[in-house]
Chain A
Amino acid sequence: GQQLNQSPQSMFIQEGEDVSMNCTSSSIFNTWLWYKQEPGEGPVLLIALYKAGELTSNGRLTAQFGITRKDSFLNISASIPSDVGIYFCAGRRPGANSKLTFGKGITLSVRP
């Protein structure tokens, strides 16, 4: 079963607002990834994090790898309507080959 916790299940924000999502686990991960999925499509990688404490940006997106290696957050600044979608965190555990464990995802809605 899945070991990454994402909540709430849905978030509703106004265009232009910032939003922050986090992902927690009871286990240590040595890689944290954030994906976005739109209807009928596969997940698309947004940001990859490989070191505890690492802070990485990709345009309006910023993500951090928690110091304890058991959490990560994603921040979206100045949201726009095309940010709508499902945001998944995923992690790779030590010794887990290349397989990823995903959270359940957060559905983001942006009101114009």
Chain B
Amino acid sequence: GAGVSQTPSNKVTEKGKYVELRCDPISGHTALYWYRQSLGQGPEFLIYFQGTGAADDSGLPNDRFFAVRPEGSVSTLKIQRTERGDSAVYLCASSAQGAGTEAFFGQGTRLTVV
């Protein structure tokens, strides 16, 4: 597709379970970002990839959160031992390289931990 694609759209999981959220960026975009948006809030930065490497993971809240981008395209956000407080919309965005090239967001994955 032409835009950033995130799967699944919705995920309901039980507390303590492991989840994986997938992001397919726009073809050719080297930069990829994960943000988390809680109800009534703006998106909050989690991690930024340039190619295959995490250039900035300062937003990951704790070591239960991990993200990979092994081939520099698709990325997976992994959350271990989920807690109810992890419930939020997880947004992925991608951008081409270069100054003034802003990111395009996907529609997000709504994660609900029960």
Contacts and interface: CB of A to CB of B under 8 A. Distances in A.
B40 interface: yes
B14 interface: no
Interface string A63-87: 0000000000000000000000000
Nearest to A90: B42
B108 interface: yes
Contacts of B108: 41-42
A109 to B, nearest CB: 16
B93 interface: yes
Nearest to A1: B44
B106 interface: yes
B100 A97 contact: no
A3 to B, nearest CB: 11
A2 B48 contact: no
Contact of B107 (A40, A48, A50, A102): A40
Interface of A: 2, 4, 33, 40-45, 48, 50, 88, 90, 97-105
B72 to A, nearest CB: 16
Given A42-B93, A44-B105, A102 B44 contact: yes
Interface in B15-35: 31, 33, 35
A44 B105 CA distance: 7
B106 A42 contact: yes
Contacts of B31: 98
The 7 A-B pairs of least Cβ separation, nearest first, read A102-B42, A42-B105, A99-B45, A97-B56, A102-B43, A88-B42, A43-B105
Given A98-B31, A99-B33, A42 B59 contact: no
Given A42-B4, A98-B31, A98-B33, A2 B106 contact: no
Given A45-B102, A90-B42, A105-B42, A98 B95 contact: yes
Nearest to A40: B107
Interface string B35-73: 100001111110010000001101100000000000000
Interface string B66-108: 0000000000000000000000000101010000101111111
